Amino acid sequence: MSTPTLDIRNLTLGFKGYTGFTEVLHGISLSVEPGERVALVGESGSGKSVTARIVLGLLQELRTARIGGSVLFEGRELDGLNKRERHALRGKAMSMIFQDPTSSLNPVFRISDQFHDVLRRADPRITRDAALERAAAILAEVSVRDAERVLNAFPFQLSGGLNQRVMIAMALANEPALLIADEPGTALDVTVQAQTLQLMRKLVEEHHTAVLFISHNLGVVREFADRVYVIYKGRIVEQGPTRAVFEGPRHPYTRALMAAVPRLTGGGIPDIDEDSPDFGAPLETHDAEGRA
Ligand SMILES: Nc1ncnc2c1ncn2[C@@H]1O[C@H](COP(=O)(O)OP(=O)(O)OP(=O)(O)O)[C@@H](O)[C@H]1O
């Protein structure tokens, strides 16, 4: 068996605050194999983003965060890395795309400069000309035809959809082994979101990039992911191949999430009974054939 690109084992997280200690993750385990697309799905506040931020090594720098368990990236324990080594991993071996491209693109720099910066993380000596050539090539892969105009622009001069493409191109410019996608495109309209996902899918397939896809939208997850983990209040409650989970959800929380899909896509919060004792039921795991 190959080494997983990402292997999270029994991850715990708590925050120290004025009113005491709040536990947010209660022992999460999940893995992403090379080239695999894995979704982490759950409602707002369930712990998806904090999991992503730990993988990126961002929460480790927060003094109030207490992290336990382990995160292995290509077999290497992240905990053993210092701040500089974690920084070197980000943007090179792993990268992230966000809901809203404006949160990751810097408003005061031209797209060309931002590409140059990103490419320098992998190759500190890359010349500006070589960086622009590489940027134009990867922009073409996300169907941006007038690369020169886009590279010369500031983010505010481009449409939301175009910025989204730029962000995808930038995230994949260094051929990372792992891409973390946090609800990409949800800040944009539905058509642009669908295009964004299609482009992202095409690129990760072509480049054999492993993806951890974070979402509350089950419809999107079903389209995109090979495997799914369902997270509820900081615990994984169900996991398995996407088809098996969708065709035979076992955990009461997964069933409730699925029943709420029309409301979710309508923008509302799922109307589920948070106090249902069933939601504390043990982890449900599907194998490839959907058996228990
Ligand atoms: N820096 C922090 N300090 C204290 N609590 C935090 C911090 N960051 C996140 N939390 C808490 O951790 C829990 C999980 O948050 P997280 O952002 O991971 O949820 P999420 O599932 O990604 O939700 P959303 O879909 O809304 O982004 C929440 O209760 C949140 O309030």
Read off the amino acid at residue 53: R
Through-space distance between the first and last CA atoms of the chain, rounded to whole angstroms = 22
pLDDT at 52 over 90: yes
pLDDT in tens, 107-143: 899 999 999 999 998 899 999 999 999 999 999 988 8
In this prediction, residues 10-32 reach a mean pLDDT of 95
* Domain extent at residue 56: 6-285
Q: Is 292 exposed, middle or buried (0-12, 13-18, 19+ CB in 10 A)?
A: exposed
Mutate to test the pocket of ligand 1, among 24, 25, 257 (most ligand atoms within 8 A of CB): 24
Q: 3-state DSSP: the chain helix, strand, coil percent, rounded to 5?
A: 40, 25, 35
Regarding the beta carbon of 216 and ligand 1, being less than 6 Å apart is answered: yes
Min mean pLDDT across 24-33, 164-173, 232-241 is at 164-173
pLDDT in tens, 212-231: 999 988 888 998 999 999 99
What CATH number is associated with residue 53?
A: 3.40.50.300
What pLDDT sits at residue 264?
45
Regarding the beta carbon of 37 and ligand 1, being less than 6 Å apart is answered: no
Q: Is residue 291 part of a domain?
A: no
Q: Is residue 292 part of a domain?
A: no
Q: Is residue 47 part of a domain?
A: yes
Q: Tokens 């910025």 correspond to what residue?
A: 163
Report the Cα 70 to chain-centroid distance in Å: 18
Q: Is residue 40 part of a domain?
A: yes
Report the nearest-CA residue for atom 12 of ligand 1: 24
Regarding the beta carbon of 234 and ligand 1, being less than 6 Å apart is answered: no
Q: Is residue 181 part of a domain?
A: yes
Min mean pLDDT across 40-44, 151-155, 215-219, 229-233 is at 215-219
Whole-number Å distance between alpha carbons of 165 and 181? 13
- Mean pLDDT over all residues of the chain? 87
pLDDT band at 157 (very low <50, low <70, confident <90, very high): very high
Q: Which tokens is 61 given?
A: 């720098």
Q: Is residue 1 part of a domain?
A: no
Min mean pLDDT across 83-87, 180-184, 189-193 is at 189-193
Regarding the beta carbon of 50 and ligand 1, being less than 6 Å apart is answered: yes
Q: Is residue 77 part of a domain?
A: yes
Number of domain units in the chain: 1
Q: Is residue 290 part of a domain?
A: no
281, 251 Cβ separation under 8 angstroms: yes
Whole-number Å distance between alpha carbons of 117 and 263? 41
Regarding the beta carbon of 48 and ligand 1, being less than 6 Å apart is answered: yes
Q: Pick 260 or 276 by higher pLDDT.
A: 260
DSSP 274: T
ipTM score: 0.92
Q: Tokens 């980000």 correspond to what residue?
A: 90
pLDDT band at 182 (very low <50, low <70, confident <90, very high): confident
5, 32 Cβ separation under 8 angstroms: yes
Whole-number Å distance between alpha carbons of 157 and 41? 33
Regarding the beta carbon of 24 and ligand 1, being less than 6 Å apart is answered: yes
Burial 165-200 (b: 16+ CB within 10 A, else e): bbbbbbbbbbebbbbbbbbbbbbbeeebbebbbebb
